[in-house]
Amino acid sequence: MSFWNDLTQKVKSVLDISEHIDTESAEKAIRSNIYFRGPNAWILAIAIVIASVGLNVNSIPVIIGAMLISPLMGPIFGLGLGLGINDFELMKAAGRNLLVMMGISLLASFIYFLITPLSLTNPTELLARTNPTIYDVLIALFGGFAGIFEQCRKDKGTVFSGVAIATALMPPLCTAGFGLASGNLHYFAGAIYLFIINCLFIMLATYTMVKYLKFNALKFSDEKLGRRTKAVSTILIILFIIPSIWSAVLLVRQNNFEDRALEFMEANKSVEKSIIYDYKISHSDGSKIELFYTGEPLSATARTNIESSAKEHGIKPEQLIISEHTTIEGTNEMELVKTIYERTDTELKNREAEIQRLREELKMLRGEEIPYVQIQKEISLSYPQVEDIYISRGAFVAKDSLDAKSCILVVPQCTDSIKVEDKIKLEEWLKLRLASENVVLIPMIK
């Protein structure tokens, strides 16, 4: 039994937080961070613009950087603290500042997306912020727990930055601004819903921890008002969590359908003398898969077999669409495959030709490479007054000429002048040594 007692005491000592928590300092910090005035307002606007740029170009690092900059969490923790300690004045102040924060964020992102010249051809990061699920609820809830723990801890760490990234409060506001700027109400509504979910469950986590850590609570002047406030908060949380649970169920169903659809497609790639050359899975009006066949027209038997295979893979007849692009009669399967991949073969041949051309060019450049060090040593042996040498390929352009003539420029740095006959001799030697008639020799005295 002593082993279990020791283990229990060890676990308790590891999990005990009483010596590491300072609720009074945490309350002061939360109260001081709910306001958006002066630098905080400007920092928020700047961070929103940075996040909007990141969403605009689908850059996750830029979005993360913006979330690290932004001071968004203060009013939300203030709401949770006010609810937990029965301080309605704090809740009112935090609520007002939360609305100010939303207003600044929506205005900054709206203006950015209104004037940006960048188009969104594949806005995956924006779309990710328009369809909240139960997973977003869990992230917000446990992120809120981590955030309030960090607020209460005596020795502050880097947890708060991680909470800001995980709960992702900024991207939904930026997406909502994009929805306003583009007139897309679906984007706006989905993003605002995700933002409210994050706020509510960070607030719920804060409220729970405030109660658990026994912050100093105020007494209700009106007990009925207190009970009514808590009831309203509970109803709001339930109302917001139900749609997110349904959204998560839909997401799981869609993922399962996609897995079954891909298995079904692999099993029916080739039917009679037709093959699948493309497919499309959509969930806009219920989950559906569309198969694009090419080759000879599918017979009634082939269509029946495809529908039977779909049923075996859990795909209903109304979820299956077969589109045919038939070829001329008599085309066999090998000819069909050849036609489909003809463009790929042509591109491969073009690439091989380009690689060969680049190899020849590299070979030619290596052949023209000048042995700089060896030239310097050979000249210094014959002409001791030559110390350093500048050698470069260049061009010579005459005053009235329209063409440039390539040349090799050699500039020896000498301690003494070179005689005229020696200069001529050296220049002739360089032409022979460098295999070029266009050698320009310009001796210079150091």
The 3-class SS string of 264-312 reads HHHHCCEECCEEEEEEEEECECECEEEEEEEECCCCHHHHHHHHHHHHH
The topology under which CATH files domain 15-218 is: Glycerol uptake facilitator protein (1.20.1080)
Are the C-beta atoms of 206 and 80 separated by less than 8 Å?
yes
| Average per-residue pLDDT for the chain | 77
What fold characterizes domain 372-445? GMP Synthetase; Chain A, domain 3 (3.30.300)
Q: Do domains 255-329 and 372-445 have the same CATH topology?
A: yes
Output b/e per residue, 116-148; b: 16+ Cβ within 10 A.
beeebeebebbeebbbbbbebbebbbbbbbbbb
Q: What is the pLDDT of residues 162-195, one digit of tens each?
A: 666 556 677 888 888 888 888 888 888 888 888 8
Of 307, 328, 327, 334, which is closest to residue 319 (Cα–Cα)? Answer: 307
Asked if residues 27 and 81 have their Cβ atoms less than 8 Å apart, the reply is yes
With H, G, I as helix, E, B as strand and everything else as coil, classify residue 170.
Answer: helix
d(C-alpha 165, C-alpha 224), whole Å: 39
Q: Are 253 and 219 in contact (CB under 8 A)?
A: no
DSSP characters over 299-353 = PHHHHHHHHHHHHHTT--GGGEEEEEEE--TT--HHHHHHHHTHHHHHHHHHHHH
Q: Look at residue 391 and tell me whether its pLDDT is greater than 60.
A: yes
Band of residue 330 on the pLDDT scale cut at 50, 70, 90: very low
DSSP 8-state secondary structure symbol assigned to residue 415: S
- Distance CA(410)–CA(443), nearest Å, equals 8
DSSP 214: T
Half-sphere exposure of 207 (CA within 13 A, CB side): 20
For residue 68, which of 132, 136, 160, 204 has the smallest C-alpha distance? 160
**List of residues 6+ apart from 304 with CB closer than 8 A:** none
Which region, left, alpha or beta, applies to residue 216 given φ > 0 means left and ψ of -120 to 50 means alpha? beta
Q: Quick check: 276 and 269 in contact, CB under 8 A? A: yes
pLDDT at 107: 92
Burial class (CB in 10 A: 0-12, 13-18, 19+), 407: middle
**Span 266-314, pLDDT tens digits:** 888 888 777 887 788 887 777 888 888 877 788 888 888 888 888 888 8
CA pseudo-torsion sign 60, 66, 68, 74: negative
Please give the pLDDT value at position 342. 64
Fold of the domain built from segment(s) 255-329:
GMP Synthetase; Chain A, domain 3 (3.30.300)
Residue pLDDT, tens place only, 111-120:
988 888 766 5
Q: Using 50, 70 and 90 to split pLDDT, how confident is the model at 122?
A: low
- Which residues, listed in sequence order, are joined to residue 348 by a DSSP beta bridge? none
- Does residue 317 have a pLDDT over 60? yes
The structure tokens 């609720």 sit at 23
d(CA 148, CA 192): 23
Evaluate if pTM is beyond 0.75: no
For the chain, the C-alpha Rg in angstroms (whole number) is 37
| CA neighbor of 382 nearest in space, from 328, 418, 354 | 418
Residue in this structure with the two tokens 């349904």, named with its chain if needed: 246
Residue environment code for 21-33, b if the CB has 16+ CB neighbours within 10 A, otherwise e: bebeebbeebbeb
Of 332, 265, 266, residue with least CA distance to 296: 332
Going from N- to C-terminal start, the domains of the chain cover: 15-218, 255-329, 332-366, 372-445
